[in-house]
């Protein structure tokens, strides 16, 4: 069925740099019965129960970087991107994002590990038509070009040598690269049938591993770093056979890799990780570093309340991960707006990365390993005398119960600031998150403190910062701000649609408050709303929406494993103007200034 053009749920905002709102103090500690009556979710944070150094490994991205300057250096550094997977040198899988071309920007500040998909040398998906190549080509190892004549060497070994030589000789930091020889071999890429192709895969792994190390040896680079197997999901049988074989052959990967793609993976992720660690122990293998090089669905991209659920898992496990790629290469996997702006998802990346230098602490959500629920991360930065809690994912208001506040770090009285970042869509620009709740010089009793924070919707994310009480004003942001959801406007010849975040397996962007407006396809379609402002003046006005066939629209997005056109994914049409009536703008108690 053909669907009419839709908006994402629109948030129209106006702002003026005046008007003071009073600080909202932290609430008194309510009893459990009161909490139930208030219908709040409780997030317990024990600041005295350290869980380890903050790792920050969840802020990775698959194909997150494009050409130099896309994303800008400020966006890359601000998001604290620690690890990425990019296409291999000479690769034709994407028009941009060659690892060697983006390495300077990646390593500029927070970048640590640069992974490359060796199979990205090929332009099609699945790679090479999904079939393992044979010996049908002869490659020029200096240029990557080839002729269609066999030469007695498996074609992919030559490709691997070309890629490894390029990194060894052209990179300024070859030791910080990790080679991923095979991407999703259990899917449509060469070795799906384990019963018939499992042994071939294991032998191919050894051969490719050997070529990479041979190149490294030739250039005196020590041990090459290689990651695998790279399955589409946690595969216990394949993983056990893989590790048994590589332990015997001396080709154990430096990084163990699989993917966590799916809605229910929010519930099964930790269990999969535990099963992997149990497998290592059973085999007598020292723990390997783990990187889940693809995590999350399209619905999770750019959505603060979704991202924090994934971040909390990986930070709890102290492993790395890379947000999956569904639309464009070079936009932090839909967690930046256009080439030089932040969306709501970017701000959650930044908040997460800003915990660098902290010790994480125990956080107890209402339910662990539950899909689409309140989750969080807590951390204490002793040197900077600051405690931070990040959370999101729940629909109810949240009571943050803080325990273990150390007076040696935070003093006997504290200041508290709560910031909120809302879903603005993949292309909607999100301004600096506002302080929505603040408390100054709050006495800490028995190392405990509690505050209740209203929740805009479950897609929003929140940052709570606790510092020693200081001689400064701590207050809610004074800038006037108002917003309205599209479904709450006066609609003419248009319709409100409810968007189930689990519908369709997660292959769509989300709409704030779970609703958007569609059937906006007639000349008479319009939306009207009135905004009360404190006085006459110039205001910033922003409408976040989309037209037909934008990313996330029906028919515009296809699962990567189902379709890819040539070397580039299917691209939606250019951004369109969304027909929308100019809102009435009123002074408080005054006349309509314009419509």
- Catalytic residue annotation: 184, 294
The tally of CA atoms less than 13 A away on the side-chain side of residue 245 is: 18
Q: Virtual CA dihedral for 456, 460, 461, 464, nearest 10 degrees?
A: -10
Token representation of residue 278:
């149990």
| CA distances to 149, 184, 385, 442 from 472, in Å | 74, 54, 16, 13
Partnered with residue 243 across adjacent β-strands are none
The span from the CA of 46 to the CA of 42, in Å, is 13
Token representation of residue 412:
């006997």
Helix, strand or coil, per DSSP, at residue 390 = strand
Q: Please, are residues 334 and 328 in contact by the beta-carbon 8 Å criterion?
A: yes
| CA distances to 236, 426, 519, 550 from 553, in Å | 36, 12, 13, 5
The span from the CA of 71 to the CA of 328, in Å, is 12
Scanning the structure block, which residue is given the tokens 């690269």? 177
Q: Please, are residues 491 and 362 in contact by the beta-carbon 8 Å criterion?
A: no
Q: How many residues in the chain? A: 595
Token representation of residue 294:
């693809």
Bridge-based pairing of strands 177-180 and 495-498 is unpaired
Percent helix, strand, coil in the chain, to 5, is 25, 30, 50
Q: Please, are residues 391 and 375 in contact by the beta-carbon 8 Å criterion?
A: yes
**Alpha-carbon Rg of the chain, whole angstroms?**
26
């Amino acid at each position: 069925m053909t669907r009419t053009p839709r908006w994402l749920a629109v948030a129209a905002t106006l702002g003026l740099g005046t008007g003071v709102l009073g600080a909202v103090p932290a609430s008194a500690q309510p009893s459990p019965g009161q909490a139930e009556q208030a219908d709040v979710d409780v997030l317990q944070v024990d600041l005295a129960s350290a869980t380890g150094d903050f790792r920050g490994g969840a802020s990775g991205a698959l194909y997150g970087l494009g050409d130099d300057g896309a994303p800008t250096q400020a966006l890359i550094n601000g998001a604290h991107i620690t690890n990425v997977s990019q296409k291999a040198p000479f690769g034709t899988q994407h028009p941009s994002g060659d690892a060697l071309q983006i390495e300077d920007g990646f390593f500029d500040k927070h970048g640590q590990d640069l992974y490359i998909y060796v199979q990205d040398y090929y332009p099609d998906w699945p790679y090479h038509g999904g079939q393992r190549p044979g010996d049908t080509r002869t490659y020029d190892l200096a240029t990557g070009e080839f002729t269609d004549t066999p030469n007695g060497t498996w074609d992919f070994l030559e490709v691997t040598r070309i890629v490894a030589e390029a990194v060894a000789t052209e990179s300024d930091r070859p030791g910080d690269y990790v080679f991923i020889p095979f991407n999703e071999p259990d899917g449509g890429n060469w070795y799906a049938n384990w019963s018939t192709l499992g042994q071939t895969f294991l032998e191919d792994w050894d051969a490719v591993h050997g070529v990479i190390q041979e190149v490294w040896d030739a250039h005196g680079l020590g041990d090459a770093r290689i990651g695998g197997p790279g399955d589409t999901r946690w595969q216990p049988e394949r993983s056990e056979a893989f590790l048994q074989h590589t332990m015997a052959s001396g080709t154990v990967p430096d990084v163990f890799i699989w993917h966590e793609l799916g809605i229910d993976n929010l519930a099964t992720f930790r269990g999969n990780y535990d099963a992997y660690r149990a497998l290592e122990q059973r085999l007598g293998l020292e723990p390997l570093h783990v990187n889940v090089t693809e995590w999350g669905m399209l619905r999770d991209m750019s959505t603060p309340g979704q991202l924090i659920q994934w971040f909390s898992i990986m930070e709890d496990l102290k492993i790395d991960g890379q947000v999956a790629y569904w639309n464009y290469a070079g936009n932090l996997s839909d967690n930046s707006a256009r080439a030089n702006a932040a969306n709501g998802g970017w701000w959650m990346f930044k908040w997460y990365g800003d915990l660098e230098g902290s010790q994480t602490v125990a956080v107890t959500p209402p339910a662990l390993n539950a899909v689409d629920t309140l989750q969080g991360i807590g951390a204490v930065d002793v040197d900077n005398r600051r405690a931070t809690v990040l959370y999101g994912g729940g629909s109810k208001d949240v009571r943050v119960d803080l325990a273990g506040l150390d007076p040696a770090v935070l003093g006997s009285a504290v200041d508290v600031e709560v910031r909120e970042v809302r879903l603005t869509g993949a292309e909607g620009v999100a301004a600096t998150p506002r302080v929505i709740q603040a408390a100054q010089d709050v006495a800490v009793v028995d190392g405990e403190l509690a505050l209740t924070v209203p929740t805009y919707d479950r897609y929003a994310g929140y940052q709570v910062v606790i510092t020693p009480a200081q001689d400064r004003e701590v207050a809610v942001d004074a800038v006037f701000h108002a917003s309205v959801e599209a479904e709450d406007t006066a609609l003419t010849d248009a319709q409100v649609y409810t968007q189930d975040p689990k519908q369709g397996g997660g292959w769509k962007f989300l709409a704030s408050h779970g609703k958007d407006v569609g059937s906006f396809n007639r000349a008479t379609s319009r939306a009207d709303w009135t905004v009360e402002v404190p006085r006459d003046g110039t205001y910033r006005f922003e409408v976040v929406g989309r037209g037909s066939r934008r990313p996330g629209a029906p028919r515009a997005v296809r699962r990567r494993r189902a379709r890819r056109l040539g070397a580039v994914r299917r691209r939606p049409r250019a951004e369109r103007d969304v027909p929308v009536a100019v809102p009435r703008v009123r002074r408080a108690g005054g006349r309509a200034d314009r419509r």
